[in-house]
Amino acid sequence: MIDKKILDVNNLYIKYGKQEPVVKDVNMSINHKEIVGIVGESGSGKSTLIRSILGILPTGSSISSGNIIYKDRNLLEYSKKEWREIRGNSIAIIFQDAGRSLTPILKIGDQFIETIRSHFDISKFDAHDKAIDMLGKMRLPDAERIMNSYPFELSGGMKQRVAIAMAMTMEPELLLADEPTSSLDVTIQAQVVREMMELRDNFNTSIIIVTHNMGVASYMCDKIGVMKQGELVEWGIKDQVINNPKSEYTGSLLSAVPELGGYNIEERKSTRT
């Protein structure tokens, strides 16, 4: 496989109002079919960074300098109309709380069909079939029932999978995921992570995943970036980041992760004698 560059972020600065920038001088590039993880503590600017890629920064914040090149074009020069064409079609996003990104008063089916029809000019009937097909690909059992339920009737894991299915319908080339598994149980998290890794093989998608879970990042990513107070302090191939981190901060972050095999927090004896 030839490494084809799909996204290039150069010297990006983002700030809220007139405050200190929250994203400082970030450089990274993502290749075709690559899974990139961005880890860091809360407030380190990782969510702001990936939101800027899709041009959905919250009001009051702006990119003060730098550029984001998506397939040889600067995303920052896109007009509103061009943005509409690219969002969802070639770049899609999954949010942390899938429950909140779905409309609570519409059935999953209605929302799904609406999403599909706003991108493709097809009949409701065909859109329905396509939706069922996508839900099946996300290994959701009983797709018909899901299409006919309201979001509150589904569990967190199912909602997250519906959101991923919706994001994947247009077969985007780049999928952004903002803490997609953080609000899920460990068993469901494992299922969703596996399914996201299969997306790459089935749809040739590049994925940028923002997470605070080092374990998830090291399991699924090819490259890992570590953010601290807006700066990308570490960027490299997974094995190198995990085994020989260049930055001291990455090391301390890694040692703070509780491990199952062995007490790394503190050696402690059991009450049993």
Q: Which is nearer to other proteins, 52 or 189 (CB)?
A: 189
CB 168 within 8 A of CB 130: no
Tell the smallest beta-carbon distance from residue 154 to other proteins (Å).
10
Task: Compute the residue count for the chain.
Answer: 273
Closest CA to 120 of 161, 94, 174, 112: 112
Tell the smallest beta-carbon distance from residue 171 to other proteins (Å).
25
Tell the smallest beta-carbon distance from residue 174 to other proteins (Å).
22
Tell the smallest beta-carbon distance from residue 24 to other proteins (Å).
20
CB 147 within 8 A of CB 135: yes
* Structure tokens that stand for 107 in this block: 């059935």
Q: Which is nearer to other proteins, 55 or 156 (CB)?
A: 156
Q: Which is nearer to other proteins, 1 or 186 (CB)?
A: 186
Distance of CA 225 to the CA centre of its chain: 13
Q: Which is nearer to other proteins, 129 or 248 (CB)?
A: 248
Q: Which is nearer to other proteins, 156 or 236 (CB)?
A: 156
Query: Which residues contact other proteins by CB under 8 A?
Result: 41-42, 141, 155-158, 185-191, 193-194, 212-216, 218-219, 242, 252-254, 256-261, 263-266, 268-273
Closest CA to 56 of 68, 44, 73: 68
Tell the smallest beta-carbon distance from residue 48 to other proteins (Å).
16
Beginning with the edge strand found earlier in the chain, give each strand of the sheet holding 5-16 in spatial order: 21-31, 5-16, 61-70, 73-74
